[in-house]
Structure 1
């Protein structure tokens, strides 16, 4: 975006300095439609088993109008961390639009049907990856990893793949959403929503 002019009107979360009372309405404007086939990358931050923050990049499987879904393997470190402390934050960045969304909340596992539908919607590469991407394979050399991949794809051909046994889905139920927008002709801006005890949302504009 170097050299581009991004005006405040282009990136202000809701325009004209106004605010929406419902953060999910604003999130729906920023995030792709559930059936769009677009799966943005997001940084998932959890509380590590050693007490330190842990972060990695995952795919946003879907936004269901309230919760953000993602999927992984039950043997992964993030699954163990979420079992111990079911809270997380995700950060989604749109550098080309000078936008960032940070969602913090409580994490629950999704139903088996939701997890299966998410697996079916993934590309063939990601479906195969879910089967093969384990600690054992990671310890092998590049040639052996490619050979294992080729053997798996050849043995299954064009058959429809079932989710692997360890496939699991999670959803973040937000308690806080921070919509950040930047501009090259004005200061950056942060719109912060925090869930109140009565189920409503407190909203404040903060410095970017």
Structure 2
């Protein structure tokens, strides 16, 4: 999914992230709290998500408030990741400038050696976030740009539905 946040200058910032869970509470993804997205979400806990399926000619847009997942949820998901991915979470200073690929490979080698024979725990800086939808828009491509658009908006626990012009 595409995750859009707002940076310190008020500019939108978008990137692709992996949706790991969706349930009645919202849409969940994981990353480094010290990454650009993590810092942006800490400063402004709102986000937009976009799912696009060109072959199906469909799109879903979500906007909402963001909150970190519990430590237990972050621990459980981190433990399910491949060992190399867990080591990589320790090695990476995500979103910061990197002088050479060799520096990254050296950091991975150091962290691999440090955890040799041991479990790789979740770094404190690594967590997940949940986007609680305030609005969800479903878009369907139709001939001659006469698309179908339905937007659902939350008001407390109730949802309202409206059709939008293409």
TM range (shorter): 0.7 to 0.9
The aligned residue for residue 108 of structure 1 is 67
Structure with the higher strand share, 1 or 2: 2
CA gap 1:56/1:186 in 2 versus in 1, 3 angstroms? closer
* Deviation digits for residues 99-129 of structure 1 (CA, Å, limit 9, x no counterpart): 2211100111111001111212333343233
Gaps of 5+ in 1: 1-41
The aligned residue for residue 153 of structure 1 is 112
The aligned residue for residue 188 of structure 1 is 147
Moved more, 161-170 or 149-158: 149-158
CA gap 1:137/1:145 in 2 versus in 1, 3 angstroms? farther
The aligned residue for residue 99 of structure 2 is 140
The aligned residue for residue 163 of structure 2 is 205
Please give the secondary structure, in 2, of the residue aligned with 1:127. helix
CA gap 1:137/1:172 in 2 versus in 1, 3 angstroms? closer
Structure 2 counterpart of 1:74, from 26, 33, 38: 33
Q: How does 1:20-35 map to 2 (within 5 A)?
A: none
Alpha-carbon contact 1:137-1:145 (below 8 Å) kept: no
Q: Quick one: distance in 2 between partners of 1:185 and 1:125?
A: 48
The alignment's C-alpha RMSD in Å is 2.5
Please give the secondary structure, in 1, of the residue aligned with 2:120. coil
| Cα offset, 1:151, TM superposition | 4.1
Gaps of 5+ in 2: none
CA gap 1:117/1:152 in 2 versus in 1, 3 angstroms? same
How many residues are matched?
Answer: 166
Alpha-carbon contact 1:70-1:171 (below 8 Å) kept: yes
